[in-house]
Chains A and B, each alone.
Chain A
Amino acid sequence: MQNQIRTILQQHGKLGTDATSLAEDADLYQAGMTSHASVNVMLALEGAFDVEFPDRMLKRSVFESIRNIHAALSELTGGR
């Protein structure tokens, strides 16, 4: 799952650095992800993992780091 998240961040995150080598807890917004880019990341994650983020997850902190995204997706996919 993490590799897929990194690939999506690489494609949609507009990060100033390489998403494949970012630390798991690195702040993605600090790394250059804009609000609009985070929306594109969110939509791409939904497509890739066939999930829909509920409203309570559509917030800044959920998309702040690879670890947080991973945790949210794990919850939504139920470890599937």
Chain B
Amino acid sequence: MSTFLQELVAKGLLIPTGVDGVYGRSGVFEDALLGFDSYISRLAENDKAQVMRFPPLVTRENFEKSGYLKSFPHLAGPVFSFNRPPAEHAALLERVQNGEPWADMLAMTDTVLTPAACYPVYPTVAREPLAKGGRLIDVFSYCFRHEPSIDPARMQMFRMREFIRIGSPAECEEWRDQWIERAGHWLQDLGLPAESAIANDPFFGRGGKMLALNQRAQHLKFELVVPIATVEEPTAIMSFNYHQEHFGKTFGINQSDGEVAHTACVGFGMERVTLALFKFHGLDPDKWPAGVRERIFV
């Protein structure tokens, strides 16, 4: 266990489950996380984003369509369940009892754990034509990434609050760019010295290297990073992504003039921001600086 993780567990803020990257959260942790969520809502109120809340699942059909498996097959979390005849139930239990593999007795269901909070949004907005000026959506969901780690800031299930802009290329890119500065101020007001950096997604394999370099060369992804686990490798607590026409083309979202819509999203890593608050201000929120407390605990 990393030292910071040990401290969080000793203090009871995170509750280990036995699997790396999967934790329970204490009431104190949740108060801080949900307090930060309210802070976002208050500051972004005038944006008038349309709120949508989805359970942490996407349909398998939309997941397959999204192209996620082309880029991140190693992170995916498809849901499987037992669908054999009752006569085979005993065999399943016997295998489990004997510690034998039982995965082949399961079949894929119609759902996949949500990889990013914005995924359910694209097929949803594709159902009706965009009005002039596009749309702005607000989502909040647990997300799953299969990447077990002892870094408390790299959980397998974590929450993401996201805003998604759907519209013309200029609308999306400008919106994404102004958010980097805006969010940087919000985090600074919480005593978090976030710095922006060009970033890339963890694409899979050799082709992934090329995708990552492409993404960087085109400045499609930025992150705000703060040192949580180590100073040398700071952790991204927010990301700012311009997908160009990827989701518009994939799900058939069109602008009011009939052109393919572009999309961008801005995501807050809720657990990561919360961990950064504990890292920078200590494990006892009662002792956090007054300016931070009054913004988080209203």
Contacts and interface: CB of A to CB of B under 8 A. Distances in A.
A63 B213 CA distance: 12
A69 to B, nearest CB: 13
A36 B67 contact: yes
A36 B70 CA distance: 8
A43 B214 contact: no
Contact of B209 (A40, A58, A61, A63): A58
A63 B218 CA distance: 14
Contacts of B207: 39-40, 42-43
Interface string B206-219: 11011101110110
If over half of A's interface residues share one DSSP class (helix, strand or loop), that class is named, otherwise mixed; here it is helix
A38 B214 contact: yes
Nearest to B217: A60
A12 to B, nearest CB: 12
A35 to B, nearest CB: 5
B214 A60 contact: yes
Interface residues of A, number: 13
Contacts of A42: 207, 210
Contacts of A39: 207, 210-211
Given A35-B211, A35-B214, A39-B211, A58 B67 contact: no
Interface string A3-28: 00000000000000000000000000
Contacts of B71: 36
Contacts of A36: 67, 70-71, 211
Given A39-B207, A42-B207, A43-B207, A60 B67 contact: no
A59 interface: yes
Interface centre among B67, B70, B210, B214 (most CB of A within 10 A): B210
A60 to B, nearest CB: 5
B218 to A, nearest CB: 8
A75 interface: no
A26 B214 CA distance: 18
A36 B67 CA distance: 10
A59 B214 CA distance: 6
A58 B213 contact: yes
A55 interface: yes
B209 A55 contact: yes
A63 B217 CA distance: 13
Contacts of B218: 60
A59 B71 CA distance: 16
Nearest to A42: B210
A35 B218 CA distance: 11
Interface string B59-70: 000000001001
Interface centre among A35, A55, A59, A63 (most CB of B within 10 A): A35
Interface in B178-236: 206-207, 209-211, 213-215, 217-218
Nearest to A38: B210
A63 to B, nearest CB: 8
Interface in B219-277: none
Given A39-B207, A55-B209, 4 more contacts: A36-B70, A43-B206, A58-B206, A59-B210
22 contacts: A35-B214, A35-B215, A36-B67, A36-B70, A36-B71, A38-B210, A38-B214, A39-B207, A39-B210, A40-B207, A42-B207, A42-B210, A58-B206, A58-B209, A58-B210, A59-B213, A59-B217, A60-B214, A60-B217, A60-B218, A61-B217, A63-B210
User: Top 10 A-B pairs ranked by shortest CB distance?
Assistant: A39-B207, A58-B210, A35-B214, A59-B213, A58-B209, A60-B217, A60-B214, A35-B211, A39-B210, A36-B70
